Amino acid sequence: MNTQVLFEHPLNEKMRTWLRIEFLIQQLQSALPVSDSAKALHFFRNIGDLLDVFERGEIRTEILKELGRQQRKLLSWSEVPGVDMQRIDTLRSQLESCGSVLMAAPRIGQVLREDRLIALVRQRLSIPGGCCSFDLPTLHIWLYLPQEQRDAQVDFWLKTLEPVKQSLDLLLDIIRNSAPFRKQTSLNGFYQDNGDDADLLRLHLSLGDQLYPQISGHKSRFAIRFMPLDSEHGLVPERLDFELACC
């Protein structure tokens, strides 16, 4: 069976931030239910990373701008003959609804930032082994609470992320589906092309080749160098077929 591996690479800072937020929220959900100290530390470490990302820029402003841009794009699509108007109207209404919810929401991450338990664990995470029971008795007793009590607390924290998660899920889905995969060929492990104002590169590589892409560039031009997973003995074929979508 020829397994295809999907690689995604952002072509601007905005997309880089969004993919990180998406990844961290997925990591949070993978730790559920928080039933022991290993899952708890995984969960709190990702909450801390998420809050660090939120503090780096105007996340809400950028997302709202993109929601508006995608609505305008859909409006121009509605003039194309034979287009699925029902699909366009549904997407426009979803974009509008996400924008309203995000506008009305409190500052992103504020509830998590002000939570005492999250703050205590965050402080200790940078210290090697700093989350032992003697360092963090608060976390230790929290892990002894009935599971349903912990679940309710975690559910409350995650619900505060819903406005940003819903908007990003929709935007990233639209962006990812905005361009089809096309077959390309690299020569001696190298490929370059124009980005045409793309936000995101998506590549399908065959797992059998055991290669990964190193991508550099931005929305107007990019280059891909294919590297062997085994840096000592791995080989890069002279001609390598792969699939690429510039979204």
pTM of the model: 0.91
**Amino acid, single-letter form, for residue 185:** T
Domain boundaries for CATH 2.60.440.10 within the chain: 182-246
98 has a pLDDT exceeding 80: yes
Q: How far is CA 131 from CA 65, 126, 134, 146, 219, in A?
A: 40, 9, 8, 21, 42
β partners of residue 6:
204
| Average pLDDT value for residue range 92-102 | 94
Domain spanning 182-246 has what CATH number?
2.60.440.10
In the CATH scheme, what is the homologous superfamily, with its name and number, of domain 13-177?
YacF-like (1.10.3900.10)
| Arithmetic mean of pLDDT over the chain | 92
| Average pLDDT value for residue range 59-82 | 87
Domain boundaries for CATH 1.10.3900.10 within the chain: 13-177
Task: Quickly tell me which residue has 């107007």 as its tokens.
Answer: 220
pLDDT 10s digits, 133-172: 898 999 999 999 999 999 999 999 999 999 999 999 999 9
